[in-house]
Amino acid sequence: MTVRNATFERPMAAGLARSSRHDAPRVAPWVLPLILVLGLFYLYPVFDVMRLAFMRATLLANDGTYTLSTLIDTLSRPELAQILWVTFVFTASSVVAQQVLGLVIALVVVRGEGRGLFGTTIVRTTALVAWVVPGIAGGIIWKMLFNEAPFGGLNSILRLLGAAPVQWLSDPDLVMWSVVLSNVWRGTAFSMVVMYAALKAIDPVLYEAASVDGANARQRLLHVTLPQLRAAILVNMILITIQTLNTFDAIISLTGGGPGRATEVLSLYTFNIVFRNYDLSVGAVLSILMLAISLGLALVYAVFLPKGDE
């Protein structure tokens, strides 16, 4: 048996070897352009940022020497702790709110579609409108709404209702939540789309079985829907966390990071260091810090991702 198998397998193995030898020269022309593009447009800038982080390069001068002082000086800057805290509050609040709201809207839309209700497409489209608005434009729209002048958008409505005006942007304790609100408005649609797609992929048989077992709506949500959405939720969390960490366009047009540094997140701080202070090396260190935070969070989420056999 063994001998027969061995003789039977030998020609196959030989054939495979011949085939791989034959295919090998044809793989490189296909892969090489991809490697070149990735190397040139993705890896080279990353290496350049790494190189700059160990120099003292500004837009005005670069003595070409390598040093650890930029790294040490940057990470020991007194304002960095506050910047990181502001970034944490902004990112955590935005991610949680976008995830929850995106899931709620997707559940409502899927349930509405299941019942054949009118308007589900309108709800989906309306949510997506906010998503396609560029960040700068979104910031300007919210700046008009939050304007604290007597003719400002939201305060005018509050006055009509007899309520006192709110210091949306000038109160250092409130301004962060105004910025989070504007970011959640813009980012919820993405979560809604991901959750909607994941909800549609759940096998209806699971719900039928749950109903047969007498599960109510809350139990179906907790024991069928959410476990089935686990992978989608975690992937969505990774994506929106990285997206939120990199957000600065909406903030720069809404508050510019102020008042003071009340809404200056890490990405905006990095932008200011490079474009206001012209310091390429400090900007590079901060960019690497952002990369490390994003990768770290992605790894944490990845640990909770269901494995193939789950």
Partner 1 sequence: MNTRILTLLSAAAMALPVSAFGQDTITGDTGGPPDAPNKLVFRMTSDGPRNNDPVLAEGYSKLFNAFVANHAGWQVELQMMSGDISQEQARMLEQAKSGNAPDCAAVDSFVLPLFKKSGVLQSFSPYFKKEEIDQLFPFIRDGVTGADGQIYAWWWSTDLRVLYRNTEIIPDAPETWDETKKAALASVEKGMEGILFNGGRYEGTTFDWLANFWGQGGKLVDDAGKPIFGEGENREKFIKAVNYYRDLVESGAAPKRVATIGNYDDFNAAAAAGTSALFVGGNWQYNQLKTVLEPEELAKWTFSRLPGPTKDERSTGTGGWTVAAFSKDPAKVEMCANLAREIYMGPANELQEQLPTRADFYSTYKIFSSDTNKAFGEALKVGQARPGAPVYPEISNQIQIMMGKVLTGAEATDAAVDEAFKASTAAFGRL
Question: What is the binding site for partner 1 (CB under 8 A)?
Answer: 56, 58-61, 78-79, 147-151, 167, 169-172, 255-262, 272, 274-279, 282
Q: How far apart are CA 195 and CA 236, in angstroms?
A: 8
Pick between residue 99 and residue 281 the one whose CB is nearest to partner 1. 281
Report DSSP letters for 6-41, one per residue.
HHHHHHHHHHHHHHHHHHHHHHHHHHHHHHHHHIII
The distance of closest approach from Cβ of residue 49 to partner 1 in the complex, given in angstroms and rounded to an integer, is: 14
Nearer to partner 1, 102 or 257 (CB): 257
Angle, alpha carbons 31-32-34 (nearest 5°) = 70
- What is the closest distance, in whole angstroms, from the C-beta atom of residue 138 to partner 1 in the complex? 16
Determine whether 58 is exposed, middle or buried from the number of CB atoms within 10 Å of its CB (0-12, 13-18, 19+).
Answer: middle
Which residues are within 8 A (CB) of 154 and not within 5 positions of it... i.e. 6 or more apart?
145, 146, 166, 168
- Phi and psi torsions of 58, nearest 5°: -120, 175
CB of 57 to partner 1, least distance (A): 10
What is the closest distance, in whole angstroms, from the C-beta atom of residue 42 to partner 1 in the complex? 20
> Of the two residues 60 and 205, which places its CB atom closer to partner 1 in the complex?
60
Residue 113 or 148: the one with the smaller Cβ distance to partner 1 is 148
Distance of closest approach, residue 143 Cβ to partner 1, in angstroms = 8
Q: Give min distance, CB of 38 to partner 1, in A.
A: 23
Nearest distance from C-beta of residue 170 to partner 1, angstroms: 4
Q: Which is nearer to partner 1, 168 or 196 (CB)?
A: 168
**DSSP alpha helix (H) spans, the chain:** 2-38, 44-53, 69-75, 80-114, 120-132, 135-146, 153-160, 175-200, 204-212, 217-220, 226-245, 249-254, 266-275, 280-304
| Cβ nearer to partner 1, comparing 11 with 78 | 78
Interior/surface letters 245-272, b for 16+ CB within 10 angstroms, e for the rest:
bebbbbbbbbbebeeebbbbbbbbbbbb
Would you say 69 or 219 has its CB closer to partner 1? Answer: 69
